[in-house]
Chain A
Amino acid sequence: MPGVWIVAETREQAYELLGAARALARDMGAAVTAVVAGGSATPGECIARGADEVLVLAGLAPGEPFGAHLPVIEQEARGGSPELILLSATARGKETAARLAARLGCGLCSGCTALAFDRESRSLRMERLAYGGAAIQKLAAPSTPVIVTVPPRSVEPAAPLEGRQGRTRELPAPPPSAVKIVERKPKEKVAKDITEARVIVCAGRGFERKEDLALARALADALGGELGATRPVTEELHWLPEDLCIGLSGVQVKPELYVGLGVSGQVQHMTGVRGAKVVCAVNRDENAPIFALSDFGIVGDLYDVVPKILEALRK
């Protein structure tokens, strides 16, 4: 049916997207349709959280990727004529959204940070970050449908309501995909989730050797916090797992306190800490961009300064 659609792969995604969809649908005077992977949120759970219609995706054979559902989702969207389709901005969600947008010949707002329906003009208002986070791009959609990807954990999950009714329909199995999964390597639980950490000490390129990260770890321990890193430290040097990479293309954190050690302060990285309450830094280059983006900082060699900070903290 027309209105707001969500396409979810997991229960957590379904609840979050329904939270966003329910609020928008109210403003739009529209219905909510949930397209969900079998084995994620049940139809009953979706209906209680705002769905008027639930379309359950068929189970996939072991080697079939999530993208195999595309032809089925496309066909349903052509028949149902939604005005808005929401997906999570995860790896699979982003790929599915872009491919669906190309198939439907419609617009896609990727990594949407603000989404509202303007009742006066009866149009969607969207915002996202651009230029590595240096800019906010405001978008409007002259035509429908519009697809929007929403960063995970950026919206409140919908709470269940009593006595809601809705329809459920099982979708047909999709044709086999050209892309086959031949092996799945589940993530080893090596890194902590730092998105909820209250204190983060971040190691940047100012560290000369991997062993020296012990200094950053010691400060994190002294402050009761977690260790994070910039992209060069995780993805180029592979000194720390990629889950600890903070930035627009990594994780976005919102600690009470962020301490950047040897971090130059590239906008791409600093966008990932824009939710931090207090930002401070130690960097030997007084012209490093991080100083303008910090509340306070020490201009000095971290190898000299951090041990002194640790000592002062012990007092």
Chain B
Amino acid sequence: MPTLIACFKWVVDEAYIRRGPGGALDFSSVDYKIGEYDRNAIEEAVRLRDAGGGSVIGVTVGVPESAKGVKDGLSRGMDQAFFVSDPSFRDLEPSQTAAILAEVIRTRIPQYDLIACGEGSSDLYAQQVGPRLAELLGIPCVCFVQKLSLEGGTLRAERRVEDGVEVVEAPLPALVTVLPDINTPRIPGVKDTLMAGKKPVTAVTKEELTGRLEGALKTEAMTASRLERTGEKLAADAAGIARFVDSLRKSGWIT
């Protein structure tokens, strides 16, 4: 029976980030979520378990408040979770996150078949943690997967690249990063949420980790980008349509 690992991250929902005074990021009214792409990773691991048996272990790294994300993840069908947390884990760099995940998987999950990650996190979207993790664990890596199946000790995956699709095979254990269209993540119901509270969660503290934790790159600033425009709203009446078309003409592209 395969052991499937899904890695995920509890992140700020970027839709609620505002531009503060002087271009600072205003996080005062933000909500949090499991990263969009990570939901596909969880769903794919759960789908494979439902099809072929085994169990799904979620692993996440974050600040203690990310406990909400652990419960959210478990409500999406995972069987148990490892929650690595510390107040200093708020702004980890991808190299640090990958190192922590690698150590926890190596020391606490002795036997596994597949690790599924999202193609990138919803906050940094550096798209590094999956492939870095595969290298640190010394296992094969297949990124940007749109279709996946396991057969015996082998995975078969469709990987999307610029010039088409590569159908690849790799021996297990292996790591994949998945694209959003690999599946449609479930929306947990009340029963799923209630059941999530009863599933086992193993807490891992920073003190229990032995690896070096310095980041490779330093974030010097994080400022709001400028996307705002003049935002003139017009009504859907004859005057509004006329003004809309007039503005289109003024933009110089219609004669």
Contacts and interface: CB of A to CB of B under 8 A. Distances in A.
9 contacts: A95-B143, A99-B141, A131-B14, A178-B171, A178-B174, A257-B248, A298-B240, A301-B236, A313-B254
Interface stretch (A30-38, A40-48, A53-61, A137-145): A137-145
Interface residues of B, number: 82
B231 A187 contact: no
Contacts of B221: 136-138
A138 B251 contact: no
A95 B166 contact: no
A312 to B, nearest CB: 4
Interface string B139-151: 0111110000000
Contacts of A84: none
Nearest to B142: A179
B232 A182 contact: no
* Secondary structure call for the A interface: mixed
A187 B139 CA distance: 29
A294 B231 CA distance: 5
B163 A223 contact: no
A67 B144 CA distance: 13
Given A130-B123, A236-B181, A141 B217 contact: yes
B128 A135 contact: no
B245 interface: yes
Contact of A146 (B120, B141, B217): B217
B178 to A, nearest CB: 12
Interface in A264-315: 266-268, 270-271, 274, 277-280, 286, 289, 291-301, 304-305, 308-309, 312-313
B135 A181 contact: no
B241 A308 contact: yes
A137 B128 contact: no
Nearest to B11: A131
Contacts of A91: 143-144, 159-162
Contacts of B142: 179
A139 B98 CA distance: 19
Interface stretch (A15-23, A100-108, A156-164, A203-211): A100-108
A174 interface: no
Contacts of A294: 229, 231
Contacts of B240: 298, 300
Contacts of B12: 131
A299 B253 CA distance: 22
A236 B242 CA distance: 35
Contacts of A106: 216
Contacts of B167: 181-185
A28 interface: no
Contacts of B174: 178-179
Contacts of A198: 253
Given A179-B141, A179-B169, A257-B251, 17 more contacts: A101-B95, A101-B128, A102-B136, A134-B227, A135-B17, A140-B217, A178-B140, A182-B156, A248-B125, A249-B119, A256-B253, A274-B225, A292-B231, A296-B243, A298-B240, A309-B244, A313-B245
A223 B229 CA distance: 22
B84 to A, nearest CB: 18
Nearest to A256: B253
Nearest to B94: A108
B31 to A, nearest CB: 13
Interface in B71-117: 93-95, 98
Given A107-B217, A140-B220, A236-B181, A99 B169 contact: no
4 cross-chain pairs, A with B, having the tightest CB-CB distances, nearest first: A300-B236, A107-B216, A107-B217, A102-B135
Contacts of B136: 102
Q: Which of B171, B215, B245 has the most CB of A within 10 A?
A: B245
Given A95-B141, A296-B232, A65 B168 contact: yes
B124 interface: yes
Given A138-B220, A178-B140, A133 B227 contact: yes
Given A179-B140, A300-B240, A313-B254, A270 B227 contact: yes
Contact of A99 (B132, B170, B241): B132
A187 B164 contact: yes
B64 interface: no
A20 B97 CA distance: 29
B235 A298 contact: yes
B241 A101 contact: no
A134 B253 contact: no
A242 to B, nearest CB: 7
A160 B181 CA distance: 42
A239 to B, nearest CB: 12
